[in-house]
Amino acid sequence: MTAPTTGVGLAAAWSRYLHCLAEADEYAAVEVATRLLDDGLPAERVLLDLVAPAQAEVGDRWARNEWSVAQEHAATHISERVVAAVAAYAGPRPTRGRVVVACMDGEWHALPPRLVAEVLRLRGWQVTFLGASVPAAHLVSYLHRHDAHAVALACALPMRLPHAHRMIEACRRSDVPVVVGGRGFGADGRWARRLGVAWAPDAPSAADLVADERTLRRTPPAELSHLADDEYASLVKRRGELVDSALADLRERAPATRDYTPAQLDSTVSDLGYIVDFLAAALYVDDDTLFTEFVDWLVDILANRGVPAPAVGLTLTHYAEALRDSPRAARLLDAGRKVVAAR
């Protein structure tokens, strides 16, 4: 991540802000943001050019194993405080209809849609922010009780796309137009197009789309005819069995894993599960890149934590053997193995 270049003041503020996050100094962080507002920088820019890129940098530092999970949590808490302070400073009054902003079921990345919610508020919308992991049924009953102009749904992890689709469909049945966003839909929104839903790359585009109801409602149909082969559904049913057998296989073939501490064992089980979940999501949208981008990311994350790439290759080979009767899954696993081999 590089510092924002829009204005010398902002670039300097960005490095001060990162220092505050690193030192977990929330008072100084709020001061950095409010000083920019005092200097006349619009609240929207403070949110999108200071807080958002700083959070991406937090993620990069965690990925490189330079920051612990605790440091990431502390930094995110501070950014949440800063967003609240910027929102209070700007104090917009609603002049337009209600927009409901929520995270998909199982999605805990609430800060990105919170930024979107605040930008919508700054542009006059009356925003109800429902936060992290909202169950579909509860969202729908909320929409029935409150007259919403639109609903904005966030997904940061591609593995949540099948849930995202169910949630989008549930909102549609309530006749409320949906806009989605977040890293989970792919950098260019290609998986949103597969699901047949309007997508916005960032908060300002989301605000433009919400204001344009005709475009918001004019979405092409979902392209999911490949689901007829049932590979996705049967993989989801076999998740537990696959993870158990992959762990047994790893213990046999990679003796170092036998001496793992309980914490290492826990994160190994999580990773084995993520591989199945990303594979399932790639089957759902039928896109190899969803799986290969994930494998590339996982190899980096594990390498930075001392786990060599071939360990990922072993598990992909194990899953390929177990799923040899599923042609699409076999194709994806093969593509994943090529990514590992090229590292």
**CA distance linking residue 38 with residue 45, whole number of Å:** 13
Extract long-range pairs of 260-266: CB within 8 Å, 24+ residues apart. none
Q: Closest approach of Cβ 227 to ligand B12, in Å?
A: 22
Q: Which of 301, 322, 125 is nearest to 208 (CA)?
A: 125
Query: Is there a contact between 224 and 194 (Cβ–Cβ < 8 Å)?
Result: yes
Residue with tokens 């949540």: 160
Nearer to ligand B12, 52 or 225 (CB): 52
Q: Letter for the amino acid at 19?
A: H
Backbone torsions φ then ψ of 198, nearest 5 degrees: -65, 140
Q: Closest approach of Cβ 236 to ligand B12, in Å?
A: 16
Segment holding 103, helix H or strand E: strand 98-103
Q: Closest approach of Cβ 199 to ligand B12, in Å?
A: 7
Backbone torsions φ then ψ of 90, nearest 5 degrees: -75, -40
Q: Closest approach of Cβ 323 to ligand B12, in Å?
A: 21
Q: From residue 146 to residue 165, what is the string marking binding to ligand B12 with x (rule CB under 6 A)?
A: ------xxx-xxx-------
Q: Percent helix, strand, coil in the chain (nearest 5)?
A: 70, 5, 25
Residues 5-34 that bind ligand B12 (CB under 6 A): none
Tell me which stretch binds ligand B12 (CB under 6 A): 22-30, 49-57, 135-143, 226-234. Answer: 49-57
Q: Closest approach of Cβ 76 to ligand B12, in Å?
A: 4
Nearer to ligand B12, 38 or 172 (CB): 172
Nearer to ligand B12, 76 or 215 (CB): 76
Extract long-range pairs of 267-273: CB within 8 Å, 24+ residues apart. 269/243, 271/298, 271/302, 272/242, 272/243, 272/246, 272/247, 272/315, 273/239, 273/243
Nearer to ligand B12, 204 or 229 (CB): 204
Residues 60-119 that bind ligand B12 (CB under 6 A): 60, 62-63, 72-73, 76, 106-113, 115-116
Q: With the CA atoms of 221, 101, 276 and 191 taken in that order, what torsion angle do they form, in degrees rounded to the nearest 10?
A: 30
Q: Closest approach of Cβ 332 to ligand B12, in Å?
A: 15
Q: Closest approach of Cβ 65 to ligand B12, in Å?
A: 11
Nearer to ligand B12, 156 or 242 (CB): 156
**CA distance linking residue 6 with residue 9, whole number of Å:** 8
User: Which of 12, 56, 84, 341 contacts ligand B12 by CB under 6 A?
Assistant: 56
Q: How many residues bind ligand B12 (CB under 6 A)?
A: 39
Tell me which stretch binds ligand B12 (CB under 6 A): 31-39, 57-65, 90-98, 213-221. Answer: 57-65
Query: Is there a contact between 216 and 195 (Cβ–Cβ < 8 Å)?
Result: no
Q: From residue 175 to residue 214, what is the string marking binding to ligand B12 with x (rule CB under 6 A)?
A: ----xxxxx----------------x-xx--x--------
Q: Closest approach of Cβ 252 to ligand B12, in Å?
A: 25
Q: Closest approach of Cβ 231 to ligand B12, in Å?
A: 22
Instruction: Count Cα neighbours of 208 within 13 Å in the Cβ-side half-sphere.
Output: 7
Q: Give 84's contacts (C-beta < 8 A, 6+ positions apart).
A: none
The residues of the shown chain that bind ligand B12, judged by CB under 6 A, are: 48, 52, 55-56, 58-60, 62-63, 72-73, 76, 106-113, 115-116, 152-154, 156-158, 179-183, 200, 202-203, 206, 294, 297
